[in-house]
Amino acid sequence: MRTIFAAPQAARPAPPSQAETPEQLSQEQKQLSIALMRVNHVGEVCAQALYQSQALLTRSPSLRAHFIHAAKEEVDHLAWTRKRIDDLGGRISHLTPLWYGGAFAIGSLAALAGDRYSLGFVVETERQVEQHLASHLDRLPEEDQTSRAIVHQMKVEEARHADEAQAAGAQALPAPAKALMRLSAKLMTRTAHYI
């Protein structure tokens, strides 16, 4: 409920913009930034659901602590994207509860497959998110240095989460599972861009 309905509170300030002067975005640039940041916000809602479900279902206390720590760091991303959407005058996805529920179910299935596969799911998820964020850096307007700084920092931290899960003993997922994850992510990103 906190993830879906409450205003997230970041433990760290958002990364600072590199803009030397106040940002002047055209209406078209602003709408693109809102849409991309809405997609990123949905991704962070899903990250909360995934980590929470995996923490709930693992039998390993150390792995539970790992998932809880990663989820706390992802709260910063959730708060940063939400604030940026608000600052741009946009709105979050109308389907946020659906995204959370679906991600919680998927995370639960990964957790039930066993800890090594659960960690493998984290690795694959974070690698796909890292690629997705890189594409957003290519698409965000150069003038929107605030959004770009947030997305860049998120990309760095998602890569670290994947590395940490790999180091914790992740089992690589089979190719069909990876393809299904990519297809699901594509559906989510295209839908959240608009709704």
What is the residue range of 144's domain?
A: 27-194
Q: What is the number of domains present in the chain?
A: 1
143 falls within a domain? yes
pLDDT in tens, 91-140: 999 888 888 898 899 889 888 988 888 899 888 888 989 999 999 999 99
Count how many residues are written for the chain.
195
Place of tokens 């659960």: 118
pLDDT band at 37 (very low <50, low <70, confident <90, very high): very high
70 falls within a domain? yes
Amino acid 149: pLDDT = 94
pLDDT in tens, 143-171: 999 999 999 999 999 999 899 889 888 88
CA separation for the pair 89, 87 (Å, rounded): 5
89: domain CATH number is 1.20.1260.10
